[in-house]
Amino acid sequence: MKTEKLTCMSLCGFLTVSSIQANEPAERDYKQKQLPNIVLILADDLGYGDLNCYGATRYTTPNLDRLAHSGVRFTNFYVSQAVCSASRAALLTGCYSNRVGIGGALFPNSLIGLNPQEETIAEILKKRGYSSGIFWKWHLGYQREFLPLQQGFEEYFGLPYSNDMWKYNIDGSVATPKQNKNKANYPPLPLIEGNESVKEIVTMDDQAQLTTMYTDRAVSFIEKHKKNPFFLYLPHSMPHVPIAASDKFKGKSEQGVYGDVLMEIDWSVGQVLEALEKNGLTENTLVIFVSDNGPWLNFGNHAGSAGGLREGKGTSWEGGQRVPCIMKWPGRIPEGLVCNKIAATIDVLPTLANIVEAPLPTRKIDGVNILSLMTGDQKANPREVFLYYYNSNCLEAVRKNQWKLVFAHQSQTYEGFAPGKDGVGGKTGNVQVEPALYDLRRDPGERYDVKDLNPEIVAELTKIADEARADLGDGILNIKGANVREPGRVSVQ
């Protein structure tokens, strides 16, 4: 067993001076160093404007609002790409998703997944004695080789991909090839325990039980691991369509099913916080709540709100990639803090590694340590630049501080199309986006092109983009990056 001698520093104010070995038994390590527990809650397709503390109306999110009040609320927080699998790959590896070869959303017949050679947050924390559990949506490969137990997690219970990847229409009927060729060919939607399928999700009543089912698992996980440091990852299936709430919340909001579902997710967060409190873990737990991408706007009353930002899921406009993010860590994160600096899900891994003094992955990552932002250092700005990739590997825009330079590209658009209703999606279009520079300080809606007024800014951001293209590539210009890696692949299903 490889051991590593570490000289202890005052880790986040909790630690005393001693020396430890990296792979010592977890419980002793925990007592000596008070390594914080990590709870990472990821909502699916929840938009920038979907929580009361980000402007939502007609339903309530009191637990998330309290979480924000007792910690930090980020206002310029980004996902790597505005689609499920790519976003999750980035969150768990600290890399832009194109660096690790994951783009778009993986489907039930995909033969690729997150390469097991990539190091996930769970694997990084494991080096410091953490136990990790994931309860719900994985979406980084359905093949056994790619499932969570093979990627650093000890416990897994949930769906392997999105809850709409089943053969049923919203009214419960089976989709015909004429209605939807993909849907008609989908295999049963499995609920997985460990590596095995244990149940098929068949009806909307089944879907309505999901949030409560995995919340119970999360609470049990906290109870079970209260004496050891743990990483609890809770990637919700909802409010990704099809949406349904349990009887506890059915009809409780003024915003129909979507509001009911948001209230149930908020309740779930409350249950987790209560379990931490009951077990005396509140003070020593970092809780993070974030979404995987913006709202799927063509689902109308079953979709969320981008809070006035442009477009939504499946685009590199702000409505697609900017999401709510809240973090709470008593004694370390000041209460009521608002952070307006740029930060991103790719920064979570290196920040956690820094907090627990674990080594970073051996392969190149893109995230930076944002602990200074979390603790309220007003002068800190660890992430000045963010790259907006989409369609696997297309560099569609780059941001530095308040400036966002958009490059010519093809984009999905919701604008000009009537949304759908009650679980049936409306049409979307495709448009050619022309180059533009936006000042997000005064124009977060990206409406006023100011490139002609700011040629020096355009030149600076173009240089940043060229460096990114050499490193990560750019499908728009047919540039293959020097440092992109392959996903995991299996040859047979």
CA distances 151 to 22, 113, 148, 333, Å, are 20, 11, 5, 30
Residue of 29, 45, 50, 155 that binds Mg ion (CB under 5 A): 45
In the complex, least distance from residue 233 CB atom to Mg ion, rounded to whole angstroms: 15
Q: Which stretch binds Mg ion (CB under 5 A): 36-44, 91-99, 341-349, 391-399?
A: 36-44
User: Which uninterrupted H or E stretch holds 263?
Assistant: helix 256-278
- In whole angstroms, what is the distance from residue 61 CA to residue 39 CA? 19
In the complex, least distance from residue 23 CB atom to Mg ion, rounded to whole angstroms: 36
69 is catalytic: no
Question: Which entry of 84, 325, 339, 394 is annotated as an active-site residue?
Answer: 84
Write the DSSP assignment of 155-171 as a string of letters.
Answer: EEEE-SS-TT-SSB-TT
- In whole angstroms, what is the distance from residue 184 CA to residue 371 CA? 47
102: helix, strand or coil: coil
C-beta of 293 vs 393, nearer to Mg ion: 293
Dihedrals phi, psi of 126, to nearest 5 degrees: -60, -30
Matching residue, tokens 């219970």: 157
C-beta of 42 vs 339, nearer to Mg ion: 42
In the complex, least distance from residue 291 CB atom to Mg ion, rounded to whole angstroms: 8
* Chain centroid offset of residue 352 CA: 15
List % helix, strand, coil for the chain (3-state, nearest 5). Answer: 30, 20, 50
Q: Which stretch binds Mg ion (CB under 5 A): 78-86, 93-101, 262-270, 401-409?
A: 78-86
Residue of 284, 293, 345, 428 that binds Mg ion (CB under 5 A): 293
200-229 footprint of Mg ion as x/- string (CB under 5 A): ------------------------------
C-beta of 294 vs 487, nearer to Mg ion: 294
Residue of 42, 43, 44, 50 that binds Mg ion (CB under 5 A): 44
Enumerate residues 6+ apart whose C-beta is below 8 A from 206: none
In the complex, least distance from residue 44 CB atom to Mg ion, rounded to whole angstroms: 4
339 is catalytic: no
In the complex, least distance from residue 91 CB atom to Mg ion, rounded to whole angstroms: 11
Sign of CA dihedral 334, 336, 337, 339: positive
Enumerate residues 6+ apart whose C-beta is below 8 A from 199: 190, 191
| Tokens describing residue 457 | 């800014």
What's 435's DSSP letter? Answer: P
5: helix, strand or coil: strand
C-beta of 268 vs 293, nearer to Mg ion: 293
Question: What is the residue type of 313?
Answer: K
Enumerate residues 6+ apart whose C-beta is below 8 A from 478: none
C-beta of 33 vs 137, nearer to Mg ion: 137
Q: Within a 10 A sphere around the Cβ of 160, how many other Cβ atoms?
A: 24
In the complex, least distance from residue 85 CB atom to Mg ion, rounded to whole angstroms: 9
C-beta of 45 vs 65, nearer to Mg ion: 45
C-beta of 45 vs 118, nearer to Mg ion: 45
C-beta of 45 vs 155, nearer to Mg ion: 45
| Tokens describing residue 23 | 């792979």
Q: Count interface residues toward Mg ion (CB under 5 A).
A: 5
8 Å CB contact between 287 and 32? no
In the complex, least distance from residue 269 CB atom to Mg ion, rounded to whole angstroms: 18
In the complex, least distance from residue 45 CB atom to Mg ion, rounded to whole angstroms: 4
In the complex, least distance from residue 217 CB atom to Mg ion, rounded to whole angstroms: 21
Q: Cβ-count burial of 179 within 10 angstroms (0-12 exposed, 13-18 middle, 19+ buried)?
A: exposed
50 binds Mg ion (CB under 5 A): no
Q: Which stretch binds Mg ion (CB under 5 A): 41-49, 73-81, 126-134, 222-230?
A: 41-49
- Number of Cα atoms under 13 Å in the Cβ half of residue 108: 16
Q: Which stretch binds Mg ion (CB under 5 A): 44-52, 414-422, 454-462, 481-489?
A: 44-52
8 Å CB contact between 165 and 128? no
79-118 footprint of Mg ion as x/- string (CB under 5 A): -----x----------------------------------
Q: Within a 10 A sphere around the Cβ of 170, how many other Cβ atoms?
A: 17
- Which residues from 368-407 bind Mg ion, rule CB under 5 A? none
Residue of 164, 292, 311, 357 that binds Mg ion (CB under 5 A): 292
C-beta of 304 vs 473, nearer to Mg ion: 304
Question: Which entry of 139, 225, 236, 302 is annotated as an active-site residue?
Answer: 139
Q: Which stretch binds Mg ion (CB under 5 A): 230-238, 291-299, 304-312, 384-392?
A: 291-299
Closest listed residue to residue 50, CA positions, set 236, 203, 277, 274: 236
Active site residues: 84, 139
Site residues (CB under 5 A) for Mg ion?
44-45, 84, 292-293
